[in-house]
Structure 1
Amino acid sequence: MTEALIYDLTRQGLWVAVVISAPVLTVALVVGVVIGLFQALTSVQEMTLTFVPKAGAILAVFWLSMGFMTTTLVAFFTDALVPLIAGS
């Protein structure tokens, strides 16, 4: 296994991590901004108001995108890692 191959696998793994985490992080960002705007407009400064809806939205998106995440990870392992482990 050469250094170039290790770097390429690391790059591919990091890209898979970015693609998999993008839906959850995007929803967390959008919900956080919306709730922050709501708090600024209404002068409500409740700490749980930011946490509970954001956690619910993250869980919902995670549940909805689990199939996509699983498919992406399985494709990465079967296309990139398993051939290297098998020696082909």
Structure 2
Amino acid sequence: MSENLVIGIVKDAITTGLMVAAPILITSIVIGLIISIFQATTQIQEQTLTFVPKLIAIALIGLLTGSWMLHQLVQFTERIFEIISNIV
């Protein structure tokens, strides 16, 4: 197992992880920013106000992009299995 192969696998794993996590993370950040701006303008300082909208938005994004996320993870797993079979 060469050093370049290991670096390639780690790079692929990080890229896949970021791609799969990005829709949920970006949605959470955008919703949090919008609610923070709303709280700052109205001076409502309720800490639990951000929880429910974020939860609903993340669930919706999870439902919409869940099959794409699963497809990306399955492709990564297939690539890893292919690399393993070529090593032996």
TM-score by length of 2: 0.91
In terms of mean alpha carbon deviation, does 49-58 or 7-16 score higher? 49-58
What's the counterpart of residue 72 of structure 1?
Answer: 72
> Residue 86 in 1 paired to residue 57 in 2?
no
> Residue 5 in 1 paired to residue 14 in 2?
no
Distance 2:18 2:49 in 1: 28
What's the counterpart of residue 25 of structure 2?
Answer: 25
Describe the SS at the equivalent of 2:68: helix
How far has the Cα of 1:85 moved from its partner? 2.0
Name the Cα RMSD after superposition: 1.2
Gaps of 5+ in 2: none
What's the counterpart of residue 42 of structure 1?
Answer: 42
Letter of the structure 1 residue corresponding to residue 81 of structure 2: V
Describe the SS at the equivalent of 1:44: coil
> When the two structures are aligned, how many residues end up with a matched partner?
87
What's the counterpart of residue 51 of structure 1?
Answer: 51
Letter of the structure 1 residue corresponding to residue 33 of structure 2: V
Gaps of 5+ in 1: none
What's the counterpart of residue 15 of structure 1?
Answer: 15
Distance 1:32 1:58 in 2: 11
Segments ≥4 residues shifted beyond 6 Å: none
Distance 1:75 1:8 in 2: 15
